[in-house]
C-alpha cells in the first residue's frame, strides 16, 4: 500500500499522455479529409512545384494539409496571428493592458476570448483568399477546382475556418487535459510527419547514385552538430547570484541563504520563429495569387528580402516576448520585499536596471542564435541539393517542443512523488495514538 500515491500519479500521467496522443491522432485524421469541390490529386501535383517556396514551408507546418487542401489546410496559423495581434494591442491599448496586468484569471480569460474571435475573422478572410487563389490555379488544362464560383468560395471559406477553430479547440484541450503546450505539439506533429518521407528520400538518392554516401555522411554529421548546438543553447543560462539577509519573522530568524536567478539564453523559446513565420506567411500567401513583384519575392525561400524581413521579425519577437514574460521591475520589487539583493547592486530600482541591462544583452545573443539556426540548415540543404527540405525553423520547433514536453513530464512525475511522500506522512501521523494519562 505504500506505493499507492506514486502509482496513482503515474496512472494520471498515463491518462494525460493517452489523451494527448488521441487528440493528435484526431488531428492527423482531419489532415486527410479533403475540402469538397477540389481535385486533391491535381493540388498535390501542383504543390510539388512549391517545394522551395514559403508555401512549401507553410505546407510542412500544416502537416501536408495544405497540399491536400484538407479541412485543416490553414492549420493553426490564424490563431497564432490573432495571438500576436492581441499581444501587440496589450502594449498600446490601455483596456487590454489592464486586463492583462490587473484582471487576473478573468482578465486572461477575456484576452483568450478576444483571440478566438479574431481567429474566426482571420480564418474567414484567409479561407476566402485561398479559395479565390485556388480557382485561378490549374495544372496544364486541368483545373484544381471542380466547379468554381461563389458557392465554392463560401463553402471553402466556412469549411477551412471551421477546421482552424477545431484545431484551436484541440490545442486547448491538450494543454488543459494532456501534457505540454497543445498548439506547439500540433505544429510539432505536422513537422515530424514528413520525417519518414525525408529518410526515404535519402535512401532513394543513395540507391540511384544521385548522392554519394560521403556527402550524406557529412550532411548527417552537420545536422547532428546543429541539433546538439540547439540543445546546448536551449539549456544555457546566465545565473545571477542572489543573497537573502537574515530577518526576524515572529520569533524565528529566517533568510541568510544564497541562491541564483536563472536567465535563459533564449527565454522566448520557439515563439519568435513561429510568430515570424506566421506574419510573413500572410502576405506571402497573397503573393502567390496576386501579381505583385514585392509579394512574389516573399514567397521565395533564401531570397535576400525574405531573409532580411524574417531575421528582423525574429529579433523583434525575441525582445517583445521576453519583455512580456519577464518584468525586471516586478522581479526586483519581489526580491526587495523578501530581503533579497544582488551582491554589489542596491535593491530596488538599481537592481531592476541591472536585470534589464543583463537581459537586453542576453536577448541579443539569443536572437542571433535563433536567427542563425533558422537560416543555416536551409543553406546546408541547398548546398547538398537533397530531395527533401527540413529548415532551421522546423528544427528549432521540434527540439524546443521536445525539451519543453520532457521537462513537463519530469515536473509532473516529481510533483507526484512529493504528493505521495506528503500523503504517507499524513497517514503516519493519523496512526499515532495519544498517550493516556494515569
Domain boundaries, the chain: 1-193, 194-389
Q: What gap in Å lies between CA 389 and CA 302, rounded to an integer?
A: 13
- Look at the chain and count its residues: 438
Does 194-389 match 1-193 at the fold level? yes
Domain 1-193 coded CATH 1.10.3370.10: yes
* pLDDT of the residue at 420: 59
Q: What gap in Å lies between CA 294 and CA 232, rounded to an integer?
A: 38
Count CB neighbours of 435 within 10 A: 5
DSSP β-ladder status, 247-249 and 138-139: unpaired
Q: Which three cell numbers stand for residue 82?
A: 490573432
* pLDDT of the residue at 387: 58
Identify the burial level of 246 via C-beta atoms within 10 angstroms of its C-beta, where 0-12 means exposed, 13-18 middle and 19 or more buried: exposed
* pLDDT of the residue at 203: 77
Tell me which H or E stretch contains 261. Answer: strand 257-264
Q: Which three cell numbers stand for residue 173?
A: 484541450
* pLDDT of the residue at 411: 80
Q: How far is CA 414 from CA 1, 161, 409, 418, in A?
A: 20, 40, 9, 6
Q: Report yes or no: 16 and 22 within 8 Å, Cβ to Cβ.
A: no
Q: Structure pTM? A: 0.76
Q: Which of 365, 351, 281, 376 is nearest to 322 (CA)?
A: 365
Question: What would be the CATH architecture of the domain defined by 194-389?
Answer: Orthogonal Bundle (1.10)
Count CB neighbours of 2 within 10 A: 9
Q: How far is CA 156 from CA 35, 41, 42, 129, 201, in A?
A: 7, 17, 17, 10, 33
> Any long-range contacts for 209-213 (C-beta under 8 Å, 24+ apart)?
210/387, 211/384, 211/385, 211/386
Q: Which of 336, 290, 306 is nearest to 136 (CA)?
A: 290
Q: Which of 321, 90, 82, 61 is nearest to 194 (CA)?
A: 61
* Residue-by-residue pLDDT tens, the chain, 438 positions: 344 444 555 677 888 889 999 999 999 998 888 888 888 777 877 777 665 556 666 777 777 788 788 889 888 888 888 888 888 788 778 888 888 777 677 888 888 889 999 999 999 988 888 888 788 777 666 678 888 888 888 998 999 999 999 999 999 899 888 888 888 888 888 888 877 777 777 777 777 777 777 877 887 888 888 888 888 988 888 888 888 776 655 566 555 677 888 888 888 877 888 778 777 766 665 655 556 666 665 655 567 777 888 889 899 988 888 887 788 888 888 888 877 888 888 888 888 899 899 999 999 999 999 988 888 877 777 777 765 666 677 788 888 888 888 888 888 777 766 665 556 555 555 555 555 554
Q: Which of 73, 70, 69, 50 is nearest to 61 (CA)?
A: 73
Amino acid at each position: 500500500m505504500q506505493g499507492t500515491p506514486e502509482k496513482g500519479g503515474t496512472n494520471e500521467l498515463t491518462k494525460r499522455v493517452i489523451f494527448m496522443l488521441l487528440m493528435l491522432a484526431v488531428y492527423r485524421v482531419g489532415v486527410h479529409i479533403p475540402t469538397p469541390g477540389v481535385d486533391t490529386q491535381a493540388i498535390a501535383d501542383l504543390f510539388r512545384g512549391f517545394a522551395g517556396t514559403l508555401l512549401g514551408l507553410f505546407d510542412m507546418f500544416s502537416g501536408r494539409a495544405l497540399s491536400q487542401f484538407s479541412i485543416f489546410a490553414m492549420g493553426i496559423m490564424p490563431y497564432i496571428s490573432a495571438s500576436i495581434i492581441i499581444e501587440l494591442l496589450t502594449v498600446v491599448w490601455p483596456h487590454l493592458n489592464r486586463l492583462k496586468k490587473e484582471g487576473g484569471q478573468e482578465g486572461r480569460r477575456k484576452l483568450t476570448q478576444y483571440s478566438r474571435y479574431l481567429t474566426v475573422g482571420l480564418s474567414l478572410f484567409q479561407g476566402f483568399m485561398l479559395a479565390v487563389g485556388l480557382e485561378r490555379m490549374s495544372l496544364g488544362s486541368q483545373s484544381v477546382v471542380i466547379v468554381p464560383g461563389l458557392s465554392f468560395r463560401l463553402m471553402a471559406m466556412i469549411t477551412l475556418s471551421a477546421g482552424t477553430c477545431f484545431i484551436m479547440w484541440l490545442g486547448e484541450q491538450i494543454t488543459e487535459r494532456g501534457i505540454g503546450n497543445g498548439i506547439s505539439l500540433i505544429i510539432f506533429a505536422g513537422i515530424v510527419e514528413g520525417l519518414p518521407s525525408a529518410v526515404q528520400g535519402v535512401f532513394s538518392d543513395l540507391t540511384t547514385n544521385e548522392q554519394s554516401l560521403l556527402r550524406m555522411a557529412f550532411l548527417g554529421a552537420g545536422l547532428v552538430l546543429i541539433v546538439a548546438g540547439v540543445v546546448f543553447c536551449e539549456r544555457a543560462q546566465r545565473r545571477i547570484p542572489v543573497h537573502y539577509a537574515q530577518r526576524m519573522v515572529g520569533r524565528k530568524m529566517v533568510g541568510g541563504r544564497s541562491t541564483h536567478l536563472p536567465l535563459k539564453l533564449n527565454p522566448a523559446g520557439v515563439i519568435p520563429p513561429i510568430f515570424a513565420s506566421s506574419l510573413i506567411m500572410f502576405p506571402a500567401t497573397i503573393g502567390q495569387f496576386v501579381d505583385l513583384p514585392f509579394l512574389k519575392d516573399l514567397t521565395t525561400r533564401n531570397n535576400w528580402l525574405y531573409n532580411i524581413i524574417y531575421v528582423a521579425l525574429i529579433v523583434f519577437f525575441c525582445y517583445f516576448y521576453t519583455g512580456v514574460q519577464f518584468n525586471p521591475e516586478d522581479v526586483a520589487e519581489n526580491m526587495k520585499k523578501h530581503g533579497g539583493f544582488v551582491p554589489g547592486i542596491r535593491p530596488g530600482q538599481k537592481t531592476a536596471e541591472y536585470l534589464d541591462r543583463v537581459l537586453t544583452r542576453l536577448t541579443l545573443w539569443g536572437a542571433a542564435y535563433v536567427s542563425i539556426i533558422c537560416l543555416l540548415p536551409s543553406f546546408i540543404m541547398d548546398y547538398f541539393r537533397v530531395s527533401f527540405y527540413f529548415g532551421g525553423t522546423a528544427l528549432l520547433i521540434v527540439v524546443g517542443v521536445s525539451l519543453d514536453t520532457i521537462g513537463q513530464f519530469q515536473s509532473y512525475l516529481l510533483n507526484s512523488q512529493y504528493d505521495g511522500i506528503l500523503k504517507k506522512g499524513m497517514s503516519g501521523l493519523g496512526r499515532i495514538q495519544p498517550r493516556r494519562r494515569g
